[in-house]
Amino acid sequence: MLAGHEEDPGTQHKAAELVLGAPDGAERDGLLSLIYHEGLGVERDLDRAFEYAEKAAFEGGDGLGYFMLGYMCENAETPDQAEGGPRQKYDHYDAERFYEICSGIESRWRDQAILWLGDYYMDMAQGGDPEIGVEYYEKIADSNAEAAGRLSDHYWDLIMPEYLEDEEWTSQLFRWTAVAARLDPEEYSYRMGWIYADGLGCEPQPDKAIEEFGKAYSYGDWRGAKSIARVFEEMLDSAPDAASRAECEKNIKLWDERADRIREQEQDKDE
């Protein structure tokens, strides 16, 4: 009920009533923690949110309970942190522990905990171990667009801008960008086009590059159209006859015009 309706007071109130009236149990306690933390249909109360999170987690092994404990530790919202002074029970270092427990529990919160852990280890100012971060992302990346995208970003950053020809990196870049482009084509089709065009982790495949660039263009990315024009420019150099060269020149003009048209529309909006 709450998904997509967070700003609707009526929906929030109805959801809160359902949870408050539900039978006692760990799942109810986890949801109560969330509701009181966010003030969804009830007055926001961090102390009660924390109380229900502990109960859900420690008495019932609830994934949301552990997630809420991790979140509250991360953001200094547990009662002892909020009051300041000497450490009593929890601090921000406990966030990793609670998210780790959540990541091992089958619940709708598991993926979010895994993403947090992946981000934590990717951040050199925090966990500081990208190899562990990769391992976390890989647990869910085949079906989670955010995790696949983070893996694609990681290997892209390793390879660019020097285009390092590390076979392991390029093969992983190809693998995870292909997954990301399948799960989130609007965000990753353009990159997948370049991977096919340049043969990163695969043989250069102009036809597939054009297909992926075309998807990016269909989502309004002018770079997709401009890149299709560049692929046809490369094909022009090896065109076997006059008819093929004429077709390439026609497509170069067509896609350059399409790219310029989108760019002009974007500039008009900005103005």
Spatial distance between the Cα atoms of 233 and 225, rounded to a whole number of angstroms:
13
Residue 44 backbone dihedrals phi, psi, to 5 degrees:
-60, 130
Q: Per-residue pLDDT tens, the chain, 271 aa: give them.
A: 555 556 778 888 888 899 999 999 999 999 999 999 999 999 999 999 999 999 999 999 999 999 999 999 999 898 876 666 555 678 888 999 999 999 999 999 999 999 999 999 999 988 889 999 999 999 999 999 999 999 999 999 999 877 677 899 999 999 999 999 999 999 999 999 999 999 999 999 999 999 999 999 999 999 999 999 999 999 998 899 999 999 999 999 999 999 999 999 988 887 7
Rg (CA), the chain: 25
Please tell me the predicted confidence (pLDDT) of residue 206.
96
Count other C-beta atoms under 10 Å from residue 14's C-beta: 15
Dihedral sign computed on CA atoms, order 6, 12, 14, 17 = positive
CA distance 109 to 37: 16
The helix or strand, by DSSP H or E, that contains position 250, with its residue range, turns out to be: helix 242-270
Q: Give the tens place of pLDDT for each residue, 190-223.
A: 999 999 999 999 999 999 999 999 999 999 999 9
CB 190 within 8 A of CB 180: no
**SS3 state at 222:** helix
Q: At what angle do helices 145-159 and 110-122 cross, to 10 degrees?
A: 20
70, 98 contact by CB (below 8 A): yes
**Predicted pLDDT at 268:** 82
Contact 5, 11 (CB under 8 A): yes
Q: CB-based burial of residue 76 (10 Å sphere; 0-12 exposed, 13-18 middle, 19+ buried)?
A: middle
